[in-house]
């Protein structure tokens, strides 16, 4: 397709609202998913480090008893 102006490009023959709206919703969903995955990763790493520290303390307590 060849557009005469930027307005024609963004208008997309009258379907611009649906086309660009779909892109915006998709990008928001992808960004949200990435943020949720990163949050889950941080939470998992925090829990694993707490478990590791607790296990290490138990081993120290067993050897000193």
* pTM given for the model: 0.71
Answer whether residue 2 is part of any domain.
Answer: no
Mean pLDDT of 1-23: 88
Mean pLDDT of 54-62: 83
Answer whether residue 7 is part of any domain.
Answer: no
Answer whether residue 36 is part of any domain.
Answer: yes
Beta carbons of 42 and 36 less than 8 angstroms apart: no
Beta carbons of 20 and 10 less than 8 angstroms apart: yes
Total domain count for the chain? 1
Is 65 a residue whose pLDDT tops 80? Answer: no
Residue span of the structural domain in which 57 resides:
13-64
Answer whether residue 35 is part of any domain.
Answer: yes
Answer whether residue 5 is part of any domain.
Answer: no
Answer whether residue 29 is part of any domain.
Answer: yes
Alpha helices in the chain (DSSP H): 6-11, 16-64
Is 10 a residue whose pLDDT tops 90? Answer: no
Q: What is the dihedral of CA 26, 29, 33, 34, to 10 degrees?
A: 60
**pLDDT tens profile 14-49:** 899 999 999 999 999 999 999 999 999 999 999 999
């Amino acid at each position: 397709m060849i557009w005469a102006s930027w307005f024609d490009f963004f208008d997309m023959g009258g379907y611009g609202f649906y086309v660009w709206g779909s892109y915006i919703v998709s990008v928001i969903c992808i960004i949200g998913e990435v943020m949720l995955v990163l949050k889950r990763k941080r939470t998992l790493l925090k829990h694993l480090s707490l478990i590791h520290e607790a296990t290490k303390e138990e081993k120290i307590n067993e050897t000193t008893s």
